[in-house]
């Protein structure tokens, strides 16, 4: 078995694609409409990690602001948290928690996409836990 992708529900697929591509540097792989399921969806990729975004065409989606423990979420590893913080601030992306640190173990923060889906950046300070 191998991991393939994570998925988030979004209000407007085109807006969500712009957020991930323009602000976070994802690459759009493809997008489709599945009329029989009442959905539009897209697959994006970032450093080998794939993400599916799904817009329902038959129901209005109103996302809720997440609460701790911020699950589900998608996490990306970084080597430079200061650079991540600068990139998020520069793009007007809200950090909802962090950066947090467990000394000698890990440092992380959570932020929101444009549809209140939670994403995380992490640095593993103890590479043996990775």
Predicted structure pTM score: 0.89
* Concatenated DSSP letters of 55-90: EESSS--------TT--SEEEEE-S-HHHHHHHHHH
pLDDT digits (tens, 9 = 90+) for 55-99: 999 888 888 999 999 999 999 999 999 999 999 999 999 999 999
- Give the integer Cα–Cα distance in Å for 44 and 97: 25
pLDDT digits (tens, 9 = 90+) for 107-127: 999 999 999 999 999 999 977
Q: What 8-state DSSP symbol labels residue 93?
A: P
């Amino acid at each position: 078995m191998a991991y393939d992708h994570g998925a988030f529900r979004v209000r407007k697929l085109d807006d969500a694609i712009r957020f991930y591509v323009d602000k976070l540097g994802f690459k759009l792989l493809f997008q489709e409409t599945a009329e029989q399921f009442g959905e539009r969806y897209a697959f994006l990729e970032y450093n080998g990690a794939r993400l599916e975004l799904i817009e329902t065409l038959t129901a209005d989606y109103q996302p809720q602001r997440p609460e701790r423990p911020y699950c589900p979420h998608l996490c990306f590893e970084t080597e430079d948290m200061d650079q991540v913080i600068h990139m998020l601030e520069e793009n007007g992306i809200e950090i909802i928690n962090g950066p947090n640190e467990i000394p000698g173990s890990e440092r992380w923060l959570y932020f929101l996409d444009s549809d209140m889906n939670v994403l995380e950046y992490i640095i593993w300070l103890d590479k043996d836990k990775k």
